[in-house]
Each structure stands twice: as structure tokens, then as C-alpha cells.
Amino acid sequence: MSTAAPEIKRGLAGVVADTTAVSVIDEHTGTLLYRGYPVPELAASCRFEEVAYLIWHGELPTPAQLKIFTAAERAARRVPRELTDALARLPLTCDPMDVLRTAVSYLGALEPVDEHPAGPPGTHPGADEGLDLEKSLSLWAKLPTIVAAEQRRRRGQAPIAPDISLAFAENFFHMCFGSVPDAEVVCGFEISLILYAEHGFNASTFTARVITSTLSDLYSAVTGAIGALKGPLHGGANEAVMATFEQLSAPDDVPAWLAGTLAEGGKVMGFGHRVYKHGDSRVPTMQGALDDLARRSEEGRQLMAVYDRLQRAMLESKGLYPNLDYPTGPVYHLMGFDRPTFTPIFVMSRVTGWTAHVIEQKAHNALIRPLSAYVGTSRRAVPDRPLPGQ
């Protein structure tokens, strides 16, 4: 028996845990590909609905397929009254991500228990791709209704019902603000949704796959994934980025703020990445949309001056590049969304990737259960002591 200490890959860094056909980072260019297509190209030429279809079905839709798909999405936007009532009772002191997590869990509880016969080894008894695609589409259609209603609830406003004459992105603006902005703003928003949709075995997707691997259901997997995405090292970073900008009113504030933050061992949100070490390939596309948006207002121009300065300073002092959350935080702010709504918007998009991975995990399931190296107290005897009640 070997007594050599096992090699620990903390944070599973560098571990290849399974195969996937959903997305990959091209090893030569660093470009993220969804089902083989470069994501910047998808962002430049597709609507978000087409990309969602691609992520789930593996191919871009034909016009006829897209028509059926978008009609199904529009028809599924309304949420059950009992859910709306339950969410309205949640305290305003909670995070909107808690509301979303509760909502998905509640929607799962409305489904009858699945009674699955045991299948052969390696098969997931709940593997019904058609049914899971239906559930995924239903969640994807309902999440914007829930996110918009929650932003309005926090503003003391009544919810606005979905409008089936509007596409996914336009309808979300309508439900949040009662109006749809011009095409440049809608396009910038849609780019963010496309860029956020999928990213391999990131923490929330891996969470969804772990939950699925125990033969649990799709709603449980998405509920867990929302919990993982909430943290500021993951999806919560887009909100944390904006919190940083709220502390920096001018570019000259950057050096002292950065020195203080780094001296305390703090992290600057929106910088660094577990996988991209020479820059996040999604940033230039999002940055282009941010530039267009920012030049439309004085607030935007001032924000960009601070943004550029912090980006330069991080590269000089830490050699770190921004990740997608760095431009996305300011993009959502300039579009008029409240800061606590940013990560819920990420959920509206990433639910496509999560559920594609749930379906993939079910198709080739193996329980995900790593080992640990024990570093606790060595074996010892329980001391003699009086039995309870004696």
C-alpha cells in the first residue's frame, strides 16, 4: 500500500472531471465556442433565442424551428399565481437571488413526484430529454417575469405582465420599466445574455451536474446552481464591480483605493479568472457594447474614465485582466437596472447552459463523489464518562 501523500487539487483547479459537447475554450485562440461556434460571432449575428436553441439542441434553428421555439417561450412566460403570492411574502431584506432560488424550488415543488424505474448502470432513470427540454424552456421563459417583478417590488411598483408580442429581451425591458429602449440598448443587453449563457464546468454548472449525478431532478439542480452563482467569486461579481465604482468618483481616486484594497489582501471584483490567464475572450465584445452605451451620457463617460484607469492599474500592479463581469456591471447600471438585479439577469441567461449540462449529465451519468485527504485528529478512544441520566 502506498503511503505517499495524495496530490490535492484545491478548488479542483486543472482537473478534467468529464466530457462535454456544449462548449469549449479554443486552446489556440482562447475563444469560447458554443457547440463549435465562436461566441463573439454568435453575439454579432444572433438573437438570444437562437443561441438558447443552439445550446439545447446543438444546432442553430431553421426559421421554422425558431418560430415554434419562440412561440413556446412566449406562451410560457406567465408564472402561477400561487408562486407570485409566495414570493410577495418574502422580506425585502433578502437578496433577489434568494427570491429566484426560492422561485425555482417552488416551481419544482408544483411538479408531481417522478416515479422512475431503475435503469441499467450508467443511465439516469429520470433521463427524458424531451421532458427536460420542456421544463428548461418553461424555466427560461418564467425567470425574466420573476426577475422583473422583484425589481419592481423593491421599488414599490406593481408587476407588469409579459407581452407576447415582444421578443425575450424587449419583453424583459417592458416588464421592468413599462417601455422598451432603442435598438442599441436592446442589442447591448442581448449581447450580455449571449455571453453569459454557457461556460463549461464553472462552479454553478458543476453544482448542477453534481446534484443531477445523484439522480435528483432538474429543478433541484437549477436551485443549487442559483445558490452557487450568487457568490461574488462567481456571478455575484457583476454587482460587486458596480459597488466598486460607487466608491470611486474620479480616476484619481483609483491609485489610493487600489493600494488600500490590495494591502488588506482584498480582491478587486471583475478581475482574474480560473481558466483565462491572459484575458477573458468575452470581454472585447461586451466592452464594445459598453463603449457604445457609455458615450450616450455624461455619467457613462465619467464612469468609463474610472473604468479605464482601474483596468490599467490592475494590469500594472497585479498583471490581472478583467473578466466578463467587469464590463457587464456598468452596462446593466447604465441601462437602468438596480444593482441587486444584475446577478438575477445572469441567471436568466445561464439557465440555458445549466440545463443543457443537466441533460448531458443524465445521458452519461456517474455519481460525482471525489475523495478527501484527512488532516484531523488521529484515531483515539472515547474517554470513560457517565452515561446520560446516570
Catalytic residue status for 174: no
Q: Which of residues 10-49 bind ligand COA (CB under 6 A)?
A: 11
- Verify binding: residue 270, ligand COA, rule CB under 6 A: yes
Q: State whether the Cα torsion 107-60-343-160 is positive or negative.
A: negative
Is 249 within 8 Å of 366 (Cβ atoms)?
no
- Verify binding: residue 269, ligand COA, rule CB under 6 A: yes
C-alpha distances in angstroms, 289 versus 193, 212, 240, 334? 12, 36, 20, 11
Please count the other Cβ atoms lying within 10 Å of the Cβ belonging to residue 162. 22
- Verify binding: residue 267, ligand COA, rule CB under 6 A: yes
Instruction: Report the residue from 285, 323, 361, 365 that binds ligand COA according to the rule CB under 6 A.
Output: 323
- Verify binding: residue 273, ligand COA, rule CB under 6 A: yes
Catalytic residue among 98, 163, 273, 338: 273
- Verify binding: residue 274, ligand COA, rule CB under 6 A: yes
- Verify binding: residue 108, ligand COA, rule CB under 6 A: no
- Verify binding: residue 320, ligand COA, rule CB under 6 A: yes
What is the dihedral angle through the alpha carbons of 86, 88, 90, 94, rounded to the nearest 10 degrees?
140
Q: Which is nearer to ligand COA, 144 or 270 (CB)?
A: 270
- Verify binding: residue 194, ligand COA, rule CB under 6 A: no
Instruction: Report the residue from 325, 341, 356, 360 that binds ligand COA according to the rule CB under 6 A.
Output: 325
Measuring CA to CA, which residue among 75, 77, 141, 79 is closest to residue 110?
79
Query: Rounded to an integer, what distance in angstroms lies between the CA atom of residue 168 and that of residue 173?
Result: 9
What is the dihedral angle through the alpha carbons of 289, 291, 296, 299, rounded to the nearest 10 degrees?
120
- Verify binding: residue 97, ligand COA, rule CB under 6 A: no
Identify the bridge partners of residue 9 per DSSP, sorted by sequence position.
none
- Verify binding: residue 223, ligand COA, rule CB under 6 A: no
Instruction: Report the residue from 34, 69, 206, 271 that binds ligand COA according to the rule CB under 6 A.
Output: 271
| Shortest Cβ 352–ligand COA spacing (Å) | 17
Q: At what angle do helices 129-154 and 168-177 cross, to 10 degrees?
A: 30
Measuring CA to CA, which residue among 177, 150, 335 is closest to residue 242?
335
Number of H helices, E strands in the chain: 16, 3
Q: Which is nearer to ligand COA, 242 or 268 (CB)?
A: 268
Catalytic residue status for 273: yes
Catalytic residue among 234, 280, 333, 357: 234
| Shortest Cβ 81–ligand COA spacing (Å) | 36
- Verify binding: residue 192, ligand COA, rule CB under 6 A: no
Classify burial at 254, counting beta carbons within 10 Å of its beta carbon; exposed 0-12, middle 13-18, buried 19 or more.
buried
| Most distant pair of Cα atoms in the chain: their distance | 79
Query: Rounded to an integer, what distance in angstroms lies between the CA atom of residue 185 and that of residue 333?
Result: 12
Catalytic residue status for 325: yes
Q: Which is nearer to ligand COA, 108 or 236 (CB)?
A: 236
Single out the segment in contact with ligand COA by CB under 6 A; choices: 148-156, 219-227, 245-253, 270-278.
270-278
C-alpha distances in angstroms, 324 versus 78, 111, 120, 197, 373? 30, 35, 42, 12, 34
| Shortest Cβ 10–ligand COA spacing (Å) | 9
Instruction: Report the residue from 57, 153, 154, 318 that binds ligand COA according to the rule CB under 6 A.
Output: 318
Where do contacts with ligand COA occur on this chain (CB under 6 A)? Answer: 11, 233-234, 237, 267-274, 318, 320, 323, 325
- Catalytic residue list: 234, 273, 325
